[in-house]
Structure 1
Amino acid sequence: MIKPYLMFNRECDEAFKWYQKAFNGEIIAIQKYGDMPPNPDFPVAESEKNLVLHAELKLTETGYIMGSDYQQELQGADKVCISVELNSEEHAMNAWNVLKDGGTVHNELQPTFFAKLHGSVKDKFGVTWMFTVR
């Protein structure tokens, strides 16, 4: 499944409530940074615990958007990426290896507390792709 993933500068919660109102949508999930299990490799400052780690909003019968607050200031095209959810680790690795060639890896494709694999990469054309294998 492919869904647009929107990145925000500390205003994801406000934006998703606004989009929910605009579309009479249904918030499927909102997880905050403070909800994550503690990890010494990814410390979360007290001031950032209420920021959105992940949100999903159902806009229409088949239309969804996802989003989160990013840890650095984003502009323009950097605020949108393509989220690809796959069932196959092999399929994800094949696509990942093609897209990272000449691109920039933001987060390595690796196991996380919420998925078998998750990572993001900006391809050589400037498009950011986020992969999740459940």
Structure 2
Amino acid sequence: MIKPYIFFNGNCEEAFQLYANAFDGEIIHMQKYGEMPPNLDFPISEEEKNFVLHAQVSLKEAGVLMGADVARPLEVGTNINFSLEMTSEEAAKKAWDLLKEGGQVLMELEPSFFAKLHGSLQDKYGIIWLFSVS
């Protein structure tokens, strides 16, 4: 089983809420930096206390994602891609429609020679999703 891990620039919680909604899933773990015991070797600013230290979301048709916020700049969209192999066209279309809002379609979700539906998009958080429905 692969559990992809995604790093965000302070909006991990917002992204995971969208992903839970898109895939009829639920956030099963969310810990913030502010919940850690104080550590002089790892000082945390007031802003970073609300950052996600570790989160996990269970996605009904697509497995599990894990993620966190980082205080350093990230180049959005290059941190990870996801290949989603789904069996339900309805679930795939629901997720597709939610994730493309504010994002960019890279390849339309349509029938292909190797799948009932296939397409790719970059969501508003810069994450690239590759959809395949068998």
The aligned residue for residue 9 of structure 1 is 9
Structure 1: unaligned runs, 5 residues or longer: 82-134
Equivalence map 1:1-134=2 (5 Å)? 2-60=2-60, 63-75=63-75, 76-77=77-78, 79-80=79-80
Aligned-partner Cα distance in 2 for 1:61–1:19: 11
Give the conservation status (yes or no) of the 8 Å contact 2:26–2:59.
yes
Q: For the aligned residues, what is the CA RMSD?
A: 1.7
TM-score by length of structure 1 reads 0.55
Query: Alignment identity in percent?
Result: 56
Structure 1 counterpart SS, 2:20:
helix
The structure with the larger Rg is 2
The aligned residue for residue 99 of structure 2 is none
Aligned-partner Cα distance in 1 for 2:62–2:47: 35
Shift of 1:48: 1.0
Aligned-partner Cα distance in 2 for 1:72–1:23: 29
TM-score by length of structure 2 reads 0.55
Shift of 1:74: 0.7
Aligned residues: 80
Q: What residue identity is the alignment partner of 2:10?
A: R
Runs of 4+ in 1 over 6 A off after TM superposition: none
Structure 2: unaligned runs, 5 residues or longer: 82-134
Shift of 1:24: 1.3
The aligned residue for residue 125 of structure 1 is none
Q: What residue identity is the alignment partner of 2:37?
A: P
